[in-house]
Amino acid sequence: MVRKEFPENFKWGVSQSGFQFEMGDPYRRYIDVNTDWWHWVRDPKNITSKLVSGDLPEEGINYIEFYRHDHEYAKNLGMNIYRLGIEWSRIFPYPTTFIETDVSYDGNGLVQDVKIDKETLAKLDKIANRDAVAMYRAIIQDLRSRGFKVIVNLFHFTLPFWLHDPIKARETNLNNDRRGLVEESFPIEFAKYAAYIAWKIGDLVDMWSTMNEPMVPVELGLIGPYTGFPPGVMRPDVVPRAMANIALAHALAYEQIKRFDTAKADADSSSPAEVGIIHNIIPAYPADTAGNDRAVEHYNYFHNTYILDAITKGQVDLELDEKTIVKANVLGNKLDWLGVNYYTRIVVREQKGRFPGRPVLDFDGVAGYGYACVPFGFSKIGRPCDGMGWEMYPEGLLDALKIGYKYASKIYVTEHGVSDARDILRSKSIVNHLYILHEAIESGIPVRGYLHWALTDNYEWPHGFRQRFGLYEVDLLTKERRPRKSVSLMQEIISGNSLRDNHLSALISFNKHSSENI
C-alpha cells in the first residue's frame, strides 16, 4: 500500500475568527455592535451598491452557544490543535486611548516602546468587558479539556469602532479622526490590548498569533474600493503608513505578550509564550515568460515579504519605494513561528503608472488565474475553481512555504480550504494540497501542522453567508451542524496521519515549472 506519512507529532486542526463565527443566538445576547465591520455590513450605501451582501452577522452560526458541540466535532475528527480569534472590540468596547502610558520614539519617529506595568493593566481591567474575558477563558478551557493545543489570534480584520469608523472614513476619504490602521495610535493601543489579553489568559495559552493576514485590510480596504472591505477608499499614499503601523504593532505586541504571559500552559511548549504572525503568502507568477518579472518582484516585495522583513530583520520602507528603508529599534527578531495561509496563487503583469508616485505598485492580477476566475468555472489552464472563483493550484503551496521558510524555522499551514456548499471540490482540494504539503516536509521545510478553514460554515466578510467553507454545513435557522462528505475523508487522513493510496487517486496532474502554468 502506498502511503504518504506525516511526521509523528504532526498537528491537525481548524482555524476560525471571532466576528465570522461568534454571533447568531436567537435572543441577540452575544452581538458585538462595537466593531467596524458591524457598521460596515449594514450600511445602506454598501448594500445598495452591492459592495456587501446584505447578510448580517447576528444571523450567524452561533459559535458562542454551540462551541462545546463544535469542539466535540473537531475532537471526533481526531484533531488536536484549534485556532481561535479574540475580538478586540468585545474586550474593550470603549477607548483605551485615555489610559496613558509612556511612549518613546526612535530617530525616525517610529514608536519603539510602550511602557505597560501592573498599574496600567489594573486601569485597563476597570474598563474591560470582564464577561467577554470570562467567555473566552471558558472557550479555551473547554478546548484544553478535550486535549487541544490552542492558538490565540488577536487581530483578524476587525477593529474597535472607537478606533475605526469605516463609514466616516469612506465619506471623508480618510479625512476623519478614526482611521484604523492608518492612525498613529494604532500600534500603541494594540500593545495595550495584547498586554491585557496576555495577562488575563496567558495561563491557558502558550501559542499566540498577533495578526491574521494583515495585508488584506491594507490591499482591499485602502486601494481596493470595489472589494467590499472597509473603509473602501483609494488612498495609495497612506499604504506605507499602514504597513509600517502593522509591523510596529506586531513587534510591540510581541514584547508585551512575552512580558505578561509567564505561565507555561502546555508540556510540549518551548516557552510560556511562542509569538508568531499568520500571513497569507501568495506566490506570484509572470503573465508570460518575458516582460513581467519585475511585476512579480514588486508583488512579492509588497505583499509577501515586506511585513516578514520588517519583523525579522528590522527594516521598514517608509515610502514603499525600495529606497527609503530605515532600521526601526523595536523591529527585528520578533518571530517565533509563522502561520502560512494558502488558497491559491496570483498571476501578474506589469502596469506602470497604476499608482503614480508608488512605483512598487506597478503590477496587476491577470484574469483567469488564481483569485481572478469565474466561480465554479475553470481557470485558463483548466483547473477547477470554487465558489469564490479561486483556482485550485496546489503547487503554489510549496512555493508559499519556501518563502515562509526564509523567515521561520517553525511553520504551520494555518488556513486552507474551499468555498463549496455542495462539497464537490473540497475532498480533491484537501488531498492535493496535503500531498504538496508532504512534499514540502520531505524537502526539509519544517511544517508542524495543518489547520483547515473551516470546521463549520461562517460569515465570509462582504459575501455574507453565500460562500460556504465548512466541513460541516450549518443551517442558519436551526444552527444544526451537518457533516459534509469531506468530513469522513479528513477523519481517515488524520486517523492514519497519512495519505493512503485510495486518497492519492484524487491527485491532479501537477505543473512543474512556472512557464507551464500560464
Q: Is the pLDDT of residue 327 over 50?
A: yes
Q: What is the mean pLDDT of residues 407-435?
A: 98
pLDDT in tens, 370-419: 999 999 999 999 999 999 999 999 999 999 999 999 999 999 999 999 99
Q: Which of 87, 255, 395, 415 is catalytic?
A: 415
Long-range CB contact pairs, 102-109, < 8 A, 24+: 103/188, 106/328, 106/329, 106/330, 108/316, 108/318, 108/326, 108/328
- pTM beyond 0.85: yes
Looking at the chain, the whole-number percentage of residues with pLDDT higher than 70 is: 98
Residue 250 lies in a domain: yes
Residue 57 lies in a domain: yes
Q: Kindly report the average pLDDT of the chain as a whole number.
A: 97
Q: Is the pLDDT of residue 257 over 90?
A: yes
Count of domains for the chain: 1
Q: What is the mean pLDDT of residues 451-455?
A: 99
Cα three-residue angle 140-145-146, rounded to 5 degrees: 100
Mark whether 8 is an active-site residue.
Answer: no
Q: Is the pLDDT of residue 511 over 90?
A: no
pLDDT in tens, 58-111: 999 999 999 999 999 999 999 999 999 999 999 999 999 999 999 999 999 999
CA neighbor of 458 nearest in space, from 491, 496, 415, 499: 415
pLDDT for the residue numbered 515 = 42
Q: Is the pLDDT of residue 15 over 80?
A: yes
The conformational region for residue 209 under phi > 0 = left, psi -120 to 50 = alpha, else beta, is beta
Residue 510 lies in a domain: no
Q: Is 229 exposed, middle or buried (0-12, 13-18, 19+ CB in 10 A)?
A: buried
pLDDT for the residue numbered 290 = 74
Residue 513 lies in a domain: no
CATH number at residue 387: 3.20.20.80
pLDDT for the residue numbered 247 = 98
- Taking the C-alpha atoms of residue 60 and residue 367, their distance in angstroms, rounded to an integer, is 32
Quote the domain boundaries for residue 170: 2-503
CA neighbor of 455 nearest in space, from 446, 468, 444: 468
Q: What is the mean pLDDT of residues 16-36?
A: 98
CA neighbor of 33 nearest in space, from 45, 25, 21, 23: 23
Mark whether 255 is an active-site residue.
Answer: no
Residue 508 lies in a domain: no
**Where does the pLDDT of residue 19 fall: very low under 50, low under 70, confident under 90, or very high at 90 and above?**
very high
- Alpha carbon separation from 175 to 232, 280, 294, 355, 432 (Å, rounded): 13, 30, 34, 20, 47
Looking at 184-198, 345-359, 465-479, which range is the least confident one?
A: 345-359
**Where does the pLDDT of residue 518 fall: very low under 50, low under 70, confident under 90, or very high at 90 and above?**
low
pLDDT for the residue numbered 284 = 98
- Taking the C-alpha atoms of residue 6 and residue 233, their distance in angstroms, rounded to an integer, is 45
Residue 435 lies in a domain: yes
User: Quick check: 307 and 246 in contact, CB under 8 A?
Assistant: yes
**Where does the pLDDT of residue 288 fall: very low under 50, low under 70, confident under 90, or very high at 90 and above?**
confident
Residue 514 lies in a domain: no
**Where does the pLDDT of residue 289 fall: very low under 50, low under 70, confident under 90, or very high at 90 and above?**
low
CA neighbor of 310 nearest in space, from 330, 326, 331: 331
Cell of 176: 476623519
Residue 14 lies in a domain: yes
pLDDT for the residue numbered 517 = 58
Q: Is the pLDDT of residue 514 over 70?
A: no
Q: Which of 213, 255, 391, 395 is catalytic?
A: 213
Q: What is the mean pLDDT of residues 493-498?
A: 98
